[in-house]
Amino acid sequence: MITIHSIEEIRLYVEQAKQRGETIGFVPTMGFLHEGHGSLIDHARGDHQQVIVSIFVNPLQFGPNEDFDRYPRDLPKDQAFCEARGVDVIFAPSAKVMYGEEGALTRIHVDALGDHLCGASRPGHFDGVATVVAKLFNIVQPHRAYFGKKDFQQLSIVKRLVKDLSIPVEIIGVDIVREADGLAKSSRNAYLTPEDRTVAPELQQTLKRIQAKVAEGASDLDQLMEAERSRLASFERIRIDYLTCVDLLQLQPIHKLDVGEEGVCAIAAFVGNTRLIDNILLTR
Ligand code: AMP
């Protein structure tokens, strides 16, 4: 496994691999890798001769008061993780390599899909994501790219970006990987205090209760969510940002689910000072 830091070098590597007739699977990440990333890598490894993982904490997708500076970083550990997982190349550019001294003036905005849910409390976040993902696709030019369903709004936005701009890459969504107690794995779980960690599984518990009631026949989603909001209010360490049910295509809020319909129930909440997200598929 090699680590490449420059755009020229990764382009040359990919060009040579493609000349040999090899296909490229790409896993974009911000590093501090865990089993969630590992699952994306495994999927890519199963499908392609070449697996490229990018590690880049993208300043464009962090707000001024967010955790860009303290976001956890550990390249040597990530290199060992990728090596053990059979990754061929880590692409780890600096912000200067990606955006130059003067920064990028261009932003990609995917209308409608990115303005609510996480977009409402993180203005500009998804423009930063769409911009860096488009740029990484231009640099790496993979056949397929793998994204986690944990960030389901991001996954929808990336799929739409690729469709609208005719970027020749297939987007694969991969299931959420969880801790034994159900907490979705996340690099940000490293911020949780022991007390935070004890209550953090409540996020998935909330979603699972709503999912179970819908599966049993409940159709009034607002009522189900209201009961869960009241329940979560009893946890001193948990502060809900949103708990919303949306449709799978446009991610617009839905209030009822008829038999045979599907939706997603999504939550974002601060556990202590750490903002965590999770979601679950609803089927009636
Ligand atoms: P990040 O490094 O947090 O930007 O995540 C990089 C990719 O890994 C994104 O596509 C995430 O959706 C995915 N990912 C992060 N956590 C998980 C998880 N617990 N299960 C599956 N995919 C994940």
Q: Which whole number is the average pLDDT over 154-162?
A: 98
Domain ranges of the chain: 2-174, 187-283
Q: Which whole number is the average pLDDT over 117-144?
A: 97
Residue to probe by mutation, ligand 1, list 29, 154, 158, most atoms within 8 Å of CB: 29
Label residue 209 by pLDDT band (50, 70, 90). Answer: very high
Distance CA 270, CA 202 (A): 12
Residue 32 Cα: closest atom of ligand 1:
2
Residue 187 Cα: closest atom of ligand 1:
3
| Residue of 84, 83, 92 lying closest to 4 (CA atoms) | 92
Q: Which whole number is the average pLDDT over 123-130?
A: 97
- DSSP secondary structure code for residue 105 in this structure: -
Q: What is the assigned CATH class of domain 2-174?
A: alpha beta
Give per-residue pLDDT as tens, 33-68.
999 999 999 999 999 999 999 999 999 999 999 999
Q: What's CA 235's distance to the chain center, in Å?
A: 26
| Confidence (pLDDT) at 251 | 95
Q: Which whole number is the average pLDDT over 204-224?
A: 97
**Weakest mean pLDDT among 47-51, 111-115, 228-232, 240-244:** 111-115
Q: Quick one: which H or E segment has residue 65?
A: none
| Confidence (pLDDT) at 51 | 99
CA of 150 to the centre of ligand 1 (A): 6
| Confidence (pLDDT) at 207 | 98
Q: Which whole number is the average pLDDT over 236-252?
A: 97
Is 37 known to be catalytic? yes
Across the chain, mean pLDDT equals 97
- DSSP secondary structure code for residue 185 in this structure: P
Residue 111: count of CB within 10 angstroms of its CB: 8
Nearest CA to ligand 1 atom 6: 29
| Residue of 143, 43, 138, 63 lying closest to 93 (CA atoms) | 138
Give per-residue pLDDT as tens, 1-15.
999 999 999 999 999
Distance CA 214, CA 220 (A): 8
CA of 119 to the centre of ligand 1 (A): 17
Residue 68: count of CB within 10 angstroms of its CB: 15
Catalytic site residue from 5, 37, 43, 116: 37
Q: What are the beta bridge partners of residue 278?
A: 267
| Residue of 279, 74, 272 lying closest to 192 (CA atoms) | 272
| Residue of 30, 39, 32, 33 lying closest to 175 (CA atoms) | 39
| Confidence (pLDDT) at 122 | 95
Q: Which whole number is the average pLDDT over 230-253?
A: 97
Residue 255: count of CB within 10 angstroms of its CB: 11
Q: Which whole number is the average pLDDT over 92-100?
A: 98
Strands annotated E in 154-237: 170-174
Residue 178 Cα: closest atom of ligand 1:
19
Share of the chain residues as helix, strand and coil, in percent rounded to the nearest 5: 40, 20, 35
Q: What is the assigned CATH class of domain 187-283?
A: alpha beta
Residue to probe by mutation, ligand 1, list 151, 176, 177, most atoms within 8 Å of CB: 151
Label residue 264 by pLDDT band (50, 70, 90). Answer: very high
Say what percent of the chain tops pLDDT 90: 99
Rounded to the nearest 5°, which phi and psi values hold at 200?
-55, -35
Label residue 118 by pLDDT band (50, 70, 90). Answer: very high
Residue to probe by mutation, ligand 1, list 147, 152, 274, most atoms within 8 Å of CB: 147
Distance CA 119, CA 244 (A): 13
Distance CA 152, CA 218 (A): 24
| Confidence (pLDDT) at 185 | 98
Nearest CA to ligand 1 atom 14: 148
The length of the chain in residues reads 284
171 to each of 54, 149, 253, 266, 269, how far by Cα in Å? 16, 12, 24, 21, 27
- The residues lining ligand 1, judged by C-beta closer than 6 Å to any ligand atom, are 29-30, 36-37, 39-40, 147-148, 150-151, 174, 176-177, 184-187
Residue 149 Cα: closest atom of ligand 1:
12
Say what percent of the chain tops pLDDT 70: 100
Strands annotated E in the chain: 2-4, 24-29, 50-55, 89-91, 144-148, 170-174, 238-246, 262-271, 274-283
